[in-house]
Structure 1
Amino acid sequence: MSIARKASKAMSLLPSAKITPRPSSARGHAHHGWLNTYHTFSFASYFSPQFTSFGALRVLNEDRVAAQSGFPTHPHRDAEIFSYILSGELTHRDSMLGRGQKDAKTLSEVSKDDFYVMKRGDVQFTTGGSGIAHAEENEHPEQEVHFLQIWATPWRKGLVPRYHTMSFDEEAKRKGFVTILSPLKAGLKATPEEEKEARPAVEGTIPIHADFLMGASIIAPGNSAAWRIGGDGAVQEEKGRKVYVHVPMRGFGARIRLAGREDQVLGEGDGAFVEKVDAGDELMVESVGDGEAEVVILDSN
C-alpha cells in the first residue's frame, strides 16, 4: 500500500509516460429509467472502434441502479467480472450459490467465497469461466446503488467458475492506494488444487486470472498518493504496462492531477490511459479539487 502525503512540486513527471485523458462527456451513456450508466469502453448499444479494450481491461461501466430494480439473471462466460460498490446496496443471486445472505452485516459474518448484501467498500468478483448465470439487484426500498462494473479478459478460456467477496477499509484508502485485486499467484499453469486455494500474488487481495492489478485510494484536497505500477513484483509482464485511472462521480467536486503535469487534471467521471510505463514506476496522483477524490487504478499487461 502506498502512503498518502502532502502534494509537492517535486513530484515525478514520469517523462516517458504517455497520458491520454478520457473525459466523462466522451463516454457512452444510456439512461433506462431504472439504470443510469456510463461506458468507458464499447458495451451494449455503445460502440466505438477506438475504445474496445485496454490491455486485459475490457469493460468499465459506472452504474446507478434505482431502488427495487436491477439486472435480471443473465449469463457470463470467459470473463473476470467485478463490482466496486460506491454507495447503496446490491444483492446478488447466482446459479451456483443461490442468493446473497440478506441478514449478514459485514464480511466477518460470512466466508469470503459467499455472498451478502454488498455495501460501500465491498468488492464482489466473478470468474465466468466455462459459464455461469447471476442477477444483481437493488432491493433497497428508496436508495439507489452506485457502483463500478469492471471486466477483464482472463489469460485462458474455460476456467472453473468461482466467486470471491471482500471488503476494503475506508481509512486504509485514505492513507494511500490499497491493492484490491492481484494475479492468481500460481499463474497460468495453476493446478486444480491451486485454483481452489485461490492464493493471490498480493496477500489480502482478490485473485484474478489475468496479469492485472486494481487499486483504490481516497485522497483529501491538497494531499497525494502514489501507485507503484506492477505492484512490486506481482505481475509477469513488467514492460509496457497499461494503466487506466478513473475518478468516480461522487458529487464531491473532486479533481486530481496525474504525475505532476499541469495539463493532466481529471474531474469526476473522467479517466486517463497511461502508457509507456513499466513495473516499478511510480504514478503520483494529487487531489487538487474542493472535495476528497476517490481514485480507482486498473493496471494491466
Structure 2
Amino acid sequence: MSKSVLRQAKITPHRSSTRGHSEHGWLNSYHSFSFADWYNPNFTHFGSLRVLNEDRVKANSGFPTHPHRDFEIFSYILSGELTHRDSMLAKGKEGAQSDKFYRMHRGDVQFTTGGTGIAHSEMNEHKTDTVHFLQIWAIPWKRGLAPRYHTKHFEEDDKRKGFVTILSPLKAGEDATAHQETEAEPAIAGSIPIHADFAMGAGIIAAQSKFEWTVGAKAGQETKRKVYVHLPMTKNGRAKIRLDGREDVELAEGDGAFIDGVNAGDKLAVESIGGVEAEVIVLDTA
C-alpha cells in the first residue's frame, strides 16, 4: 500500500453529485464550478481555474456563434467530434483560411484566447454520434490580449506512458512583445501556450498502475501552487483513482479534488485502482 508523500497538502474531494447539472435535450452538462444558471459560493474558482464543464452534445446540434472576452478557453475531446468555426467564416467557405476551421476528434485540443473579443461556434455536425468533451476556462494574467486560436493533437500512446503537458504558460510571460505573442512559444515544448501561470496535464493510467505529476510542470512561475484533478466519465463508472496514496481521497468517475498547500516540484501520485484504465486531467495553477 502506497503512503502519502505530500503530508502538508490539503486534498478535498469534489464529488460528482455536488456538481451543477444542466440537461437541455441536445446538451447534457456537468459544472464543477459555478456556471450559467448554477451558482454555488463554494465553487467559484480555484486559482486561475474558473470553469470546468463536462459536456455531451448530441448529433446535429451544438453551440451556435457566441462571443468571448478576457478568458483562456479550451476544449479537450474525449469521444465523438466537435467542429469549430470562426464567426468570420461561413460554412463551406473556409477555403485557404482553414486554420480557423477544425473538426476535432479524440485527442484534439482547441484553445482560444478571448482577449479583446472573439466569436466562434462549436457544433457536433456528426449525423449520429454524441460528442463528449471537457470545456475549461482560465483567468488570464491580464485583460485586453489579442484574440488567438491554437489547435493541437496529443497522441494516445504518449498519454499511456505518463502525464503529457497539454498547456503551459507563454514562455515570454505577461510582458510578451507582439512578436513573441505571434511566435507563441510555450514554456514546455510541445504544449499549447496559455496566458496564465497555469498548466494542464492528461494521462491514461492502466488499471493498478501509477503516474506522478510534477507540480508546476517545471514551468510554473510561482512556487506555491494549487492543483485540481478531474476524472472524466469515460468508462461507465468502472474507472477509479487514488491521490497521494490516501485511502480517503479515492475518486470515482465525475469526481474531482482540490489540492492546496503544494509547491512547485512536488510529486503528486495518481493511482488507477479500478478495473479499467483511467483518463485523468490535472489542472495546475498559482
Q: How many residue pairs align between the two structures?
A: 285
| Same amino acid, percent of matched pairs | 66
- Out of 281, 285, 299, the position equivalent to 2:270 is 285
**Length-normalised TM-score, structure 1:** 0.91
Question: What does the per-residue CA deviation read over 1:77-109, in whole Å, with 9 as the maximum and x for residues that have no partner?
Answer: 000000000000000111356669999xxxxxx
Q: What is the Cα-based RMSD across aligned positions, in Å?
A: 1.9
Unmatched runs of 5 consecutive residues or more in structure 2: none
Quick check: 1:42 aligned with 2:34? yes
Quick check: 1:267 aligned with 2:252? yes
1:280 aligned counterpart, secondary structure: coil
* Equivalent pair of 1:101/1:117 in contact (CA under 8 Å): no
More displaced, 22-31 or 250-259? 250-259
CA distance in 1, matches of 2:71, 2:148: 11
Which residue of the partner structure matches residue 163 of structure 2?
177
The runs of 4+ residues in structure 1 deviating greater than 4 Å are: 96-103, 110-114
Which residue of the partner structure matches residue 298 of structure 1?
283
CA distance in 1, matches of 2:168, 2:245: 27
Give the residue type in structure 2 aligned to 1:290: G
Which residue of the partner structure matches residue 10 of structure 2?
18
Per the TM alignment, residue 45 of structure 1 is displaced from its structure 2 partner at its CA by 0.7
Quick check: 1:246 aligned with 2:230? yes
Unmatched runs of 5 consecutive residues or more in structure 1: 1-8, 104-109
Q: 1:213 to 1:33 in 2, by over 3 A?
A: same
CA distance in 2, matches of 1:282, 1:201: 19
2:242 aligned counterpart, secondary structure: strand
Q: 1:214 to 1:113 in 2, by over 3 A?
A: farther
CA distance in 1, matches of 2:99, 2:265: 31
- Out of 21, 25, 30, the position equivalent to 2:22 is 30
CA distance in 2, matches of 1:202, 1:260: 28
Q: Give runs of aligned pairs for residues 114-133 of structure 1, distance below 5 A.
A: 114-133=100-119
Give the residue type in structure 2 aligned to 1:270: D
Give the residue type in structure 2 aligned to 1:134: H
Q: 1:134 to 1:111 in 2, by over 3 A?
A: closer
Q: 1:46 to 1:40 in 2, by over 3 A?
A: same
**Length-normalised TM-score, structure 2:** 0.96
Question: What does the per-residue CA deviation read over 1:238-292, in whole Å, with 9 as the maximum and x for residues that have no partner?
Answer: 12x1100000001251000000001110010000000000000000000000111
